[in-house]
Chains A and B, each alone.
Chain A
Amino acid sequence: MTVVPGPVPRLLRGVDRAAFAAALTRRLRERGVPVDLTATGVFVRALATRTPTTPTALYWTARIAVVRRHADLAAFDAVFAELFADAALGTDPHARHRPPAGRPAASAAPGPPEPGGSGLPWAIRPTVVGVADGDAPDGPGVPQRLPSAAAGLADTPFEDLDAARYALLADWLAAALPALPTRRTRRRAVRRRGTRTALRETMARSRRTGWEPIDLVRTSPVRRPRRLVLLCDVSRSMQAEATAYLHLGRAFVRGTDAEVFAFATRLTRLTPALRRRSATDATAQATAAVADRFGGTRIAANLHALLASRHADLLRGAVVVIASDGWDSCPAADLAAELARVRRRAYRILWVNPRAGVPGFEPRVAAMAAALPYCDRLVPGGTFAALRGVVDEIAGCAALSRRPVTTTA
């Protein structure tokens, strides 16, 4: 590659480009920006193509070659600013005004896990969950005992469960993944009773018969499970149920195409945290991510935030499960308006209410009453057995017929 001869740039004069790139990328990796070797190589080639003469040029060269996702930009800017703070000001005019709080993109990246957190603020004690999660310590008798023990406990209210039983039930729940309703995709696959002739496959098969197309190969659209979106209330009034619902969410996230959000006063996306293999890790991460657990509830405001965020498209055609007792500090009319919007996007809305299983329950809370017309089903969720019922309801919700909601709040 020919580099245009000219005055030697001052910024990187006498610098070994490879060593510089390696050092910078190592620094970035230490700070949690994933930089692979390909990116480092590209960075060196970029430096060779055009030697940056100003810190701004160096900033853009490094950022474009090395950073691969929007969430890493903040960490990159921090490292770069640290290294070149005294070089000059004015690296990136856009990055220096950080995105406003309304845009969750850059700030939503989960930070590094806090090592050895002192106890979990959820109802679980970490030591006991660790036992259930790792290898069974009680010898060979335990696996046989699990199902019946869990089934026996399933009807106990969440408040009366200790952590060990909790873990037992969470595993039991994870074993029962819902058969989700499906949707038709535009992708097609070969089917005997397909509706369209596939020329490519027919020609390939006609080779066997001397290029005489005897077998017509047909295709039909592929069906795919719908996405599941769980919105989990973690406010004070839901303290007893929140952990159980998070376990439900973890079962969904690990088994299907699901998204989990927690909300009390503000909305937190928990999907990446819950995807972790170990239940202890997952709940610990989720706990760390939710800053406002056991606070007040603002259901309508949180639905609004979800619809305004870039995750709003996740609701399209999805089965939306809202787990909350319906105590909302926002006006009921707001909730109705937001739910109407969610309903227009989603395939089905199921509302899981822990109190709904109590005999004589009536949706008297203003928010709950306002929400009901927009929900396809109100499902009780006070015990693990009821949560198994939620799983069954999700599987069966395709059969629910939808009526148009004319109530305008």
Chain B
Amino acid sequence: MTSALTEVAELADRMDSVGYLVDEGLATALFFAVRLGQPVLLEGEPGVGKTTAAKALAQALDTALIRLQCYEGLTASEALYEWNYQRQLLAIRLAESRGERLRDADLFTAEFLSDRPILQAIRYAGPRPPVLLIDEIDRADDEFEALLFEFLGEASVSIPEIGTFTAARRPIVVLTSNRSRELHDALRRRCLYHWIDFPAAERVARILRRAVPDAAGPLITSGAEFVGRVRALDLDKPPGLAEAIDWLSALSVLGVGELTRPAALRTLSALAKTADDRDTVTGALADLPDPAHV
């Protein structure tokens, strides 16, 4: 049983124990999201661990993760709630066949309501408040943001036919954005904000060691350093942490113990994601050791 959080360091330790390394900034942001019940908006480059942070938070707090993936055209019926129309129609037919009279109130009850992620988070019945991840909010239309305001501000959802559902305990809300468009100020006003920076090389190494436990020590150090060098190159899509982890996993699956040129060439597809990038990174491979020529 996990007790209430009292310290930032405690949250950092718990996240650490589920395999996610946090720095003080991110730990503070998540700590306040938990303690103040305020939604937190995470921004940062792609592949820096925004979504994983929310997942790890749910795991660290030993509670459920409810996820809402945003996309263009997302509406209230996919995010908040929807009536089960098929069941309503069946109920009408049934009432007809029995010769009963149906009133509005009979058709719009909780029985016919299907919860979508946000209402699920509000009506969640578990022992601890759930973590609701609203992923890539910038991919939804800007009109959709307005749908979230009531929920983000008051942790409630109003359904005209029934009334207002308010969460008994505020769910922990994590929003992520890739900044493909500017979010509305009204949304930002309701959230805490944290920008996740790409970590320095030795931190990358620590994260990699945690994420790919099978990889050899020297491979991780040189791999982290090489990823840092690749990021400094002029690339169309610089590799993020996610790519670095994929690449290291690929190398360790191949049983590579030390970073060499042929091994890196074979696993390049995990690191370079466009044709131009592949050429550029291949050029940068030249200074890696090549056992064939030693």
Contact = CB atoms under 8 A, between A and B. Distances in A.
A45 B36 contact: yes
B204 to A, nearest CB: 13
A188 interface: yes
Given A56-B24, A94-B25, A203-B88, A186 B71 contact: yes
Contacts of B229: none
A191 interface: no
B43 A70 contact: yes
Interface string A50-80: 1000001100110111011110010000000
A199 interface: yes
Nearest to B6: A4
A357 to B, nearest CB: 36
B216 interface: no
Nearest to B185: A68
B197 A94 contact: yes
A46 interface: yes
Interface residues of A, number: 41
A192 interface: no
Contacts of A39: 189
B32 A185 contact: no
Contacts of A45: 36
From A45, A69, A207, name the one whose CB has the most chain B CB atoms within 10 angstroms: A69
Interface string A281-322: 000000000000000000000001001101001000000000
A200 B193 contact: no
Interface string B30-52: 01100110101001000000000
Contacts of A313: 180
Nearest to B37: A45
B32 A65 contact: yes
Interface residues of B, number: 45
B197 A68 contact: no
A68 B32 contact: no
Contacts of B28: 57, 60-61, 64
A132 B99 CA distance: 75
Interface string B115-156: 000000000000000000000000001000000000000000
Contacts of B268: none
Interface stretch (B58-66, B72-80, B164-172, B257-265): B72-80
B83 interface: yes
A144 interface: no
Contacts of A341: 236
A42 B38 contact: yes
B25 A187 contact: no
A67 B7 contact: no
Contacts of A304: 234
B273 interface: no
B270 interface: no
Contacts of A50: 6-8, 31, 35
Dominant secondary structure at the A interface: helix
B14 interface: no
Contacts of B6: 4, 50
B115 to A, nearest CB: 16
A225 B89 CA distance: 38
A187 B73 contact: yes
A60 B24 contact: yes
A203 B83 contact: yes
B256 interface: no
Contact of A308 (B104, B194, B236): B236
From B141, B189, B195, name the one whose CB has the most chain A CB atoms within 10 angstroms: B195
A289 B10 CA distance: 46
B102 interface: yes
A63 B82 CA distance: 38
Nearest to B27: A60
B206 interface: no
Given A185-B72, A199-B85, A203-B85, A64 B29 contact: yes
Given A42-B36, A49-B36, A69 B24 contact: no
Contacts of A202: 85
A68 B189 contact: yes
B8 A57 contact: yes
A236 to B, nearest CB: 27
A259 to B, nearest CB: 11
B73 A38 contact: no
Contacts of B40: 64
A92 B195 CA distance: 12
B113 to A, nearest CB: 13
A211 interface: yes
A36 interface: yes
A60 B83 contact: no
B35 A38 contact: no
Contacts of B191: 68
B73 A185 contact: yes
A207 B104 contact: yes
B189 A46 contact: no
B193 A64 contact: yes
Given A60-B24, A308-B236, A46 B188 contact: no
Contacts of A200: 77, 82-83, 85
Contacts of A211: 92, 102, 107
Given A38-B189, A60-B24, A199-B85, A187 B35 contact: no
Please name the 7 residue pairs, one residue from A and one from B, whose CB atoms are nearest each other, closest first: A186-B73, A60-B28, A199-B85, A68-B188, A94-B197, A187-B73, A211-B92
Interface of A: 4, 36, 38-39, 42, 45-46, 49-50, 56-57, 60-61, 63-65, 67-70, 73, 92-94, 185-188, 199-200, 202-203, 207, 211, 213, 304, 307-308, 310, 313, 341
Given A94-B25, A203-B88, 6 more contacts: A50-B7, A68-B191, A203-B85, A211-B107, A213-B89, A341-B236
19 contacts: A4-B6, A38-B189, A39-B189, A42-B192, A45-B36, A50-B6, A50-B7, A57-B8, A57-B24, A64-B40, A64-B194, A94-B23, A211-B92, A211-B102, A211-B107, A213-B89, A308-B234, A310-B180, A313-B180
